[in-house]
Amino acid sequence: MDRFDNAPETALAWHKAGVGAALATVIETWGSAPRRVGAQLAISGSGEIVGSVSGGCVEGAVIVEALEALEEGTARELEFGVSDGDAFAVGLACGGTIRILVEPVGRVLPEDLLVELVAARAARRPVAYVVDLDSGARQLVSEGHADRFRMDRSGFEEGTRSFVAIHNPPLRLIVVGAVHIAQGLVPMARIAGYDPVIIDPRETFGSEARFPGERIVNDWPDEAVAAEGLDSRTALVLLTHDPKLDDPALEKALRSDCFYIGALGSTRTHAKRVARLEGLGFTEAEIARIHAPIGLDIGASGPSEIAVSVIAQMTRVLRKGA
């Protein structure tokens, strides 16, 4: 999955500064295309770029087209493939083909729409940018396209020329309990595209020495989880199996929109957890959101393999639902 980049934000800043800006978006791919649909490149009127539509293969040609589109004030649809001499010359020789939409900010992509998109991204609010390539109509929507949001999948609506660009917030992983499993889980989560934070009031556990370079919060989990926020792009993993630490955070999670809740512990430990939550008034459906014992049953042995099973389960829930 692509990390959350700042192409829209950069394009808006260039436009407001009077430099001029265009956004280039991958709208379709075939074969071994180097970037997925929805990938974006911002191009300034002076030829500066941020982002990528091909990993360097066709950026040069896209910049030229974008500068011409800015001058003309019109959108452009570009196609590059192995059979295209220009694309071959700049390196797209892997057998893939990509189509790219170039939209000058202001004269094609309305400034107020881009402002709204940037604001939604800053607020971690999932939105879809929908453009009808025949009529030129453009809008932002938050409803519908449930499968596209879940799969982070931009693309054309079947049988139409209506392109839907999904703008999801970056994935986050909140880990409660700076234990040995967390030491394996956090770097794996980064590789999988998550922005992790580790919560543990025990500074001996939640230390820079044990988690170099990671963000560590040494507060009580319920307070820290509330401060971080739990939205539809957040996974919560509870690893202490200490009710004093896990349960308060779990109570917050069960009444949130976080897409995954996993809790370490045996079947017996979870049964006791369920009883405590029932005593607090949580319903069977709410409690059923907890994945416990945590992780897919892959016969994991040791902290690192347990971490693999947790990442796999998080991915399955994110992409296929609970």
pLDDT grade for 94, boundaries at 50, 70 and 90: low
**Mean predicted confidence (pLDDT) in 236-256:** 94
Encode pLDDT of 115-151 as tens digits.
999 999 999 899 999 999 999 999 999 999 988 998 8
CA dist 102 and 25 (Å) reads 7
pLDDT grade for 319, boundaries at 50, 70 and 90: confident
Element (H, E) at 98: strand 97-104
**Mean predicted confidence (pLDDT) in 62-90:** 81
Q: How many helices and strands in the chain, by DSSP H and E? A: 11, 15
pLDDT at 87 over 90: no
Edge to edge, the sheet with strand 162-167 lists 138-141, 127-132, 162-167, 155-156
pLDDT at 2 over 50: no
> Do 160 and 283 form a contact (C-beta atoms < 8 A)?
no
Instruction: At 25, list the tokens.
Output: 């978006």
> Do 169 and 258 form a contact (C-beta atoms < 8 A)?
no
| Nearest C-alpha neighbor of 124 from the set 8, 9, 234, 265 | 234
Q: How many degrees, rounded to 5, is the angle at CA 89 between CA 87 and CA 90?
A: 70
What are the domain boundaries of the chain?
A: 7-167, 171-320
CATH class of 171-320: alpha beta
Instruction: Specify burial of residue 203 (Cβ count, 10 A radius: 0-12, 13-18, 19+).
Output: exposed
CA dist 125 and 58 (Å) reads 31
Whole-prediction pTM: 0.77
CA dist 107 and 82 (Å) reads 32
